[in-house]
């Protein structure tokens, strides 16, 4: 192994993008293949101490800085990493996506893009300006590109462009890169030398809610059933697993791949809900023959996706069940031995906010190839 190239990670969370950095040239979905170790996260930052506990449990060599990035100086970040300006090869990170997520649109300030956390994009620009890495990767929810947030997104691009990085952006579908999840994320990538970054071509294809066109020359999307293959069967069902209460019986009656709309006048269930009266994820069940929908970071008690199989409660009733941690890891294309700190709700919040590993790897591989650090065959 040669000299490891240093990376500064901002808004690190549980470390999805950090994992992609350190395993950039590992074989797809090969849990024991950690890659050549070309890149190494030297410092990771986040305001959430629990997330950084998860990160340090999986990245023993990474140093961390806990705190509000608006109060953390670039000098502190560089000093913790043991680096000087221009020494980081990459700055990576995904500013908290809540201000730009569709799930927040019920709040007027989010619809009008007045969320104060949107200023965290400016902090990302500040750190890139002060550290002068060879390149950067910024990741966020697709909502950042919506017209509602046009001013913030354009300010981000102008700020990075003004530094000479020629930022390029694109919304990528995780399933198109071997992730068993129909999650769309925007990536913004720029190079210090001003050369244009070319995004990686998809390796997989299948139909989604936006397009039913399928490229038969590519590998089919990985389904939820394929993702769960080899996982141990349920040893015991806990109360935490069971979808019960007000809508417990209704959820249990919904077929795989359907949601609350099953129980409207237009489908075969009970006529219980008005048509399109809830979010799509309400009482949503996984379809074993398709990739999962987006894993929600902060789901309510009736927000899926739930597993397609029912379980039997102690009283003998059939109920839908929530996804278990090992299943959520598979849907994020994370290794099975990835350790996550906190309660089950903490785990889902950390994974729901993370970058799916194989999607992150595809972007990092492409960038490192174009910078000349990886052979193109490895990046393909």
**Strands, DSSP E only, in the chain?**
5-10, 39-46, 63-66, 90-93, 135-141, 168-173, 184-191, 204-205, 219-220, 310-312, 318-320
Q: Identify the burial level of 293 via C-beta atoms within 10 angstroms of its C-beta, where 0-12 means exposed, 13-18 middle and 19 or more buried.
A: buried
Contacts of 124 (CB under 8 A, 6+ apart): 10, 11, 91, 93, 95, 138, 156
Chain mean position to CA 328: 12
CA atoms within 13 A on the CB side of 236: 4
Query: Could you give the 3-state DSSP secondary structure of residue 40?
Result: strand
Contact of 208 with 179, CB cutoff 8 Å:
no
Provide the terminal-to-terminal Cα distance of the chain, rounded to the nearest Å: 21
CA atoms 143, 330, 314, 311: torsion sign: positive
Is the preceding omega at residue 36 within 30 degrees of 0, hence cis? no
Q: Which of 97, 175, 359, 379 is catalytic?
A: 97
Strand 318-320 with 310-312, pairing: antiparallel
Query: Could you give the 3-state DSSP secondary structure of residue 325?
Result: helix
- Is 97 one of the annotated active-site residues of the chain? yes
Give the DSSP letter of residue 3.
Answer: P
Structure tokens at 293: 């929908």
Contact of 75 with 93, CB cutoff 8 Å:
no
Q: Which long-range contacts (CB under 8 A, 24 or more apart) does 95-98 make?
A: 95/10, 95/11, 95/120, 95/121, 95/123, 95/124, 95/138, 95/140, 96/11, 96/120, 96/353, 97/140, 97/141, 97/143, 97/144, 97/353
Q: What is the C-alpha separation between 152 and 237, in angstroms, rounded?
A: 45
Widest CA span of the chain, in angstroms? 66
The residues pairing with 250 across neighbouring beta strands, listed in sequence order, are none
Positions annotated as catalytic residues are 97
């Amino acid at each position: 192994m040669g000299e490891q190239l240093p990376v500064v990670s901002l808004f690190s969370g549980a470390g999805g993008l950090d994992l992609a950095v350190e395993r950039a040239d590992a074989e797809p979905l090969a849990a024991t293949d950690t890659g050549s170790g070309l890149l190494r996260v030297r410092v990771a930052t986040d305001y959430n101490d629990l997330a950084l506990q998860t990160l340090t449990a999986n990245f023993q060599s990474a140093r961390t800085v806990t705190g509000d990035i608006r109060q953390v100086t670039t000098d502190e970040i560089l000093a913790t990493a043991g680096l000087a300006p221009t020494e980081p090869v990459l700055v990576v990170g995904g500013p908290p996506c809540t201000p730009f997520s569709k799930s927040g649109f019920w709040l007027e300030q989010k619809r009008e893009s007045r969320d104060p956390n949107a200023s965290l994009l400016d902090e990302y620009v500040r750190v890139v300006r002060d550290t002068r890495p060879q390149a950067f990767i910024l990741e966020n929810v697709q909502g950042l590109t919506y017209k509602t947030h046009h001013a913030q997104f354009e300010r981000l691009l102008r700020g990075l462009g003004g530094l000479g990085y020629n930022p390029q952006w694109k919304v990528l579908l995780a399933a198109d890169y071997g992730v068993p999840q129909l999650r769309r994320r925007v990536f913004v990538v720029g190079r210090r030398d001003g050369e244009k970054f070319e995004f990686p071509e998809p390796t997989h294809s299948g139909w989604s809610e936006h397009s039913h066109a399928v490229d038969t020359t590519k590998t089919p999307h990985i389904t939820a059933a394929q993702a769960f293959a080899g996982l141990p069967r349920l040893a015991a069902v806990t109360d935490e697993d069971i979808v019960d209460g007000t809508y417990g019986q209704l959820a249990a009656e919904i077929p795989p791949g359907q949601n609350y709309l099953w129980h409207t006048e237009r489908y075969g269930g009970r006529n219980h809900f008005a048509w399109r009266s809830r979010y799509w994820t309400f009482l949503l069940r996984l379809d074993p023959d398709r990739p999962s929908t987006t894993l929600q970071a902060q789901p309510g008690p009736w927000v899926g996706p739930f597993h397609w199989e029912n379980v039997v409660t102690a009283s003998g009733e059939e109920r839908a069940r929530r996804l278990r941690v090992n299943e959520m890891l598979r849907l994020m294309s994370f290794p099975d031995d990835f350790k996550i700190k906190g309660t089950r709700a903490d785990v889902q919040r950390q994974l729901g906010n993370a970058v799916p590993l194989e999607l992150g790897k595809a972007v990092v591989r492409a960038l490192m190839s174009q910078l000349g650090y990886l052979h193109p065959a490895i990046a393909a």
